[in-house]
Amino acid sequence: MATKASRSAARIMMAPAVILLLGWMLVPLIMTLWFSFRTYLPLRGGDLGFAGIDNYIRFVTSSAFWPAVVATMTIVVGALLITVVFGVLLALLLDQPMWGQGIVRILVIAPFFVMPTVSGLVWKNMFLDSVNGLFSHVFKFFGATPVEWMIDKPFFSIILIVSWQWLPFATLILLTAIQSLDSEQLEAAEMDGAPPLKRFWFITIPHLSRAITVVLLIETIFLLSIFAEIFVTTAGAFGTKTLTYLIFQRVLESQNVGLGSAGGVYAIVLANIVAFFLMRIVGKNLDA
Amino acid sequence: MARAVTSRRKTINTALAWGVGLIIFFPILWTILTSFKTEGDAIAYPPKFLFFDWTLENYSVVQERSDYMRYLWNSVIIAGGSTLLGIIIAVPAAWSMAFVPSKRTKDILMWMLSTKMLPAVGVLYPIYLMFIKLGLLDTRIGLVIVLMLINLPIIVWMLYTYFKEIPGEILEAARMDGATLKEEILHVLTPMAVPGIASTILLNVILAWNEAFWTLNLTAAKAGPLTAFIASYSSPEGLFYAKLSAASTMAIAPILILGWFSQKQLVRGLTFGAVK
């Protein structure tokens, strides 16, 4: 049992981390809250006084708001669906006995380590460009007219890029979960004559449900705030302006800090709703 | 494993998995290949896969024109510095949470994690303003501090899960033998904790290296790391595929190699122990 002395020592050792994170969380948060109730235009007169809840109303009633919500939802839901569905399939495949499993794993995981600005630009130019991109070459080969992917199919393009980045993450976590599946259970089901699809649906999927939930929640938190992938590809044009990007533009590009901060508060509330569910799962695991 | 696997099935699995693996890896492979082409070959139709005039010219041009080494150095300082600083602050905290747990330990851990969920864009202006006021804009020290703070929860969390696996009896035995707190940490705990600390460093260097919100918004020419260096290639003028590829290859190669060593830590670090 810990002594009194070691308890106070423990407290001192924890202090720097706790104080730093507390400051990091509270100071900017309070500033954002404060700005969100002010008319604050750094380049056009500075702080022009109390604005009540004007910023909050203006943010959600501006013509850019709903398109941004739709763009955000499209990208998040699209990427989630693709990464989870293909992640499960890929994890199942990688769990099978094969030659060179280690190398295949490395190939599959690699995109996760590519920095967002690189994956954005490489995809945009070398694959999705309507003249010199590889996709266009393939289209030309089959006699089809190349598509201006970034302009005509901006959501497809961005979802493709983001899914490529996050598929490895989903696969790796689901693979870890599959490997902890008790193979005896599957064998028993097999002997009882359950066909593969049934075994998958009634044994594997329930076993994976927790891992899938974790993947969904963690990816949602990260996907809600993707930035660089849009910054280097469409820069918010062609309807791809997400909430994160809209707030960024309000705050840094048009320097309407009051309005942007109100948007920031909405983003924080939204992220917290997702985080709440994630934390419950993490917390449960901590007890075990 | 009781189920016999026919070699036919194994062959099919292998072919399928390699096929999918190569498709997923292809954009990276294509980037690396293109970096060795001339600009003409890079956009040639039909595309040239392996049979082109291999050249290293792009690498020297990128270095000369945009001073790649400076950006690389910034990335090294920012990723390495923020991780080390984070480790120095997190080790004592994680140690005390793992070995002297109190009723509030769990709450503190959960709260630390929750700070990680704060969307960066929500606090963009306050941080930007503070950086201006403190003269930290476009400085490496500013980014070291910010990236340390955003990764601190993950560092504390990972270290905590590693420290938790060290049996407490060993520490008690050391205490019985009259070891002081300092000796206990230095001679008993540290050797056992090194692998966990190393894994934590590895993952966090990767995360910091690839961070692309704060590094893009808080730097300009002086302190910009490789993320910003690559973003400067998004302007249409002077966009050349071979050079973009060379720059990209140089930016991702170090971390790709580190990343392959860190597969296992990735799961632990990014799911906060929720998947084992």
Cis peptide before B46 (omega within 30 of 0): yes
More confident residue, B89 or B157: B89
pLDDT at B82 over 90: yes
pLDDT at B237 over 60: no
Taking CB atoms and an 8 Å limit, are A272 and B117 in contact across chains? yes
* DSSP 8-class letter at A110: G
pLDDT in tens, A141-189: 887 777 788 888 888 989 999 999 999 989 988 988 888 877 777 788 8
CA gyration radius, chain A: 24
- A86-95, A170-179, B119-128, B265-274: least confidently modelled range: B265-274
pLDDT at B1: 44
pLDDT at A14 over 60: yes
Residues in A 107-166 with any Cβ partner in B closer than 8 A: 107-123, 125-127, 132, 134, 137, 140-141, 164
Shortest CA distance from A99: residue in chain B: B14
pLDDT at A83 over 80: yes
The highest-confidence range among B82-91, B95-104, B156-165, B256-265, by mean pLDDT, is: B82-91
pLDDT in tens, B15-46: 898 999 999 999 999 999 888 887 777 777 77
List the single residue in A10, A35, A121 with the smallest CB-CB distance to B244. A121
**Tokens 């992220």 label which residue?**
A271
Query: Is some CB atom of chain B closer than 8 A to the CB atom of A228?
Result: yes
Q: What is the mean pLDDT of residues A49-57?
A: 81
Percent of chain A exceeding pLDDT 90 equals 11
Query: Is some CB atom of chain A closer than 8 A to the CB atom of B127?
Result: yes
Amino acid at position A29, single letter:
L
Taking CB atoms and an 8 Å limit, are A264 and B110 in contact across chains? no
Which secondary-structure segment (H or E) carries A40?
strand A38-41
More confident residue, B40 or A81: A81
- A47-56, A202-211, B230-239: least confidently modelled range: B230-239
B76 half-sphere exposure, CB direction, 13 A CA radius: 8
User: Would you tell me the crossing angle of helices B263-271 and B241-261 to the nearest 10 degrees?
Assistant: 80
Residue boundaries of the structural domains of chain A: 49-287
* DSSP 8-class letter at B202: H
pLDDT in tens, B217-234: 888 778 888 888 888 877
Query: Is some CB atom of chain A closer than 8 A to the CB atom of B206?
Result: yes
Token reading at B9: 């099935």
pLDDT at A3: 65
pLDDT at A287: 59
Separation in Å, CA of A29 to nearest CA in chain B? 6
Taking CB atoms and an 8 Å limit, are B17 and A214 in contact across chains? no
pLDDT at B238 over 60: no
Does residue B45 come out as left (phi exceeding 0), alpha (psi in the -120 to 50 range) or beta?
beta
Residue of B72, B271, B272, B276 to mutate when probing chain A, most A C-beta within 10 A: B271
pLDDT at A1: 47
In chain B, which residues have their Cβ closer than 8 Å to the Cβ of A264? 119, 121-125
Separation in Å, CA of A285 to nearest CA in chain B? 6
pLDDT at A273: 85
Residues in B 165-204 with any Cβ partner in A closer than 8 A: 181
Token reading at A262: 């109100």
Taking CB atoms and an 8 Å limit, are B24 and A126 in contact across chains? no
Report the alpha-carbon distance of residue B204 to residue B152 in Å, rounded: 9
Residues in B 11-30 with any Cβ partner in A closer than 8 A: 13-14, 16-18, 20-22, 24-25, 27-28, 30
Taking CB atoms and an 8 Å limit, are A224 and B119 in contact across chains? yes
Taking CB atoms and an 8 Å limit, are A228 and B122 in contact across chains? no
Report the alpha-carbon distance of residue A2 to residue A11 in Å, rounded: 12
Q: What is the mean pLDDT of residues A257-286?
A: 82
Percent of chain B exceeding pLDDT 70 equals 94
Q: What is the mean pLDDT of residues A21-50?
A: 84
Separation in Å, CA of A99 to nearest CA in chain B? 6
Taking CB atoms and an 8 Å limit, are B96 and A90 in contact across chains? no
Percent of chain A exceeding pLDDT 70 equals 97
Name the pLDDT band for B276 (thresholds 50, 70, 90).
low
Q: How far is CA B52 from CA A101, A147, B31, B49, B239, in A?
A: 31, 27, 14, 7, 21
- Are B215 and B222 in contact by the 8 Å Cβ rule? The answer is no
Name the pLDDT band for A73 (thresholds 50, 70, 90).
confident
Give the SS3 label for residue B265: helix
Report the alpha-carbon distance of residue B58 to residue A31 in Å, rounded: 46
In chain A, which residues have their Cβ closer than 8 Å to the Cβ of B82? none
pLDDT in tens, B88-123: 999 889 888 888 888 888 888 888 888 887 888 888
CATH architecture of A49-287: Orthogonal Bundle (1.10)
Name the pLDDT band for B273 (thresholds 50, 70, 90).
low
Shortest CA distance from B250: residue in chain A: A118
pLDDT at A247: 85
Cα A18–B201–A219 angle (5° rounding)? 75
Query: Is some CB atom of chain B closer than 8 A to the CB atom of A251?
Result: yes
Report the alpha-carbon distance of residue A232 to residue B68 in Å, rounded: 19
Query: Is some CB atom of chain B closer than 8 A to the CB atom of A232?
Result: yes
pLDDT at A286: 65
pLDDT at B2: 42
Q: How far is CA B188 from CA A11, B82, B166, in A?
A: 21, 27, 10
pLDDT at B202: 86
Amino acid at position B56, single letter:
L
Core vs surface per residue A139-155: b (16+ CB within 10 A) or e: eeeeeeebbbbbeeebb
List the single residue in A13, A35, A281 with the smallest CB-CB distance to B274. A281
pLDDT in tens, B176-218: 887 777 787 778 777 888 888 888 888 889 889 988 888 888 8
Residue (of B12, B121, B61) closest to A96 by Cα position:
B12
Mean pLDDT of the residues in chain B: 83
Query: Is some CB atom of chain A closer than 8 A to the CB atom of B33?
Result: no
The highest-confidence range among A31-35, A57-61, B219-223, by mean pLDDT, is: A31-35
Residues in B 48-87 with any Cβ partner in A closer than 8 A: none
Which secondary-structure segment (H or E) carries B112?
helix B105-116
Taking CB atoms and an 8 Å limit, are A247 and B121 in contact across chains? yes
- A198-202, A261-265, B200-204: least confidently modelled range: A198-202
More confident residue, A55 or B42: A55
Please report the ipTM that was assigned to this predicted complex. Answer: 0.83
pLDDT at B77 over 70: yes
Domains annotated for chain B, with CATH where assigned, are 7-59 (no CATH), 65-271 (1.10.3720.10)
Question: A92 — phi, psi (to 5°)?
Answer: -60, -45
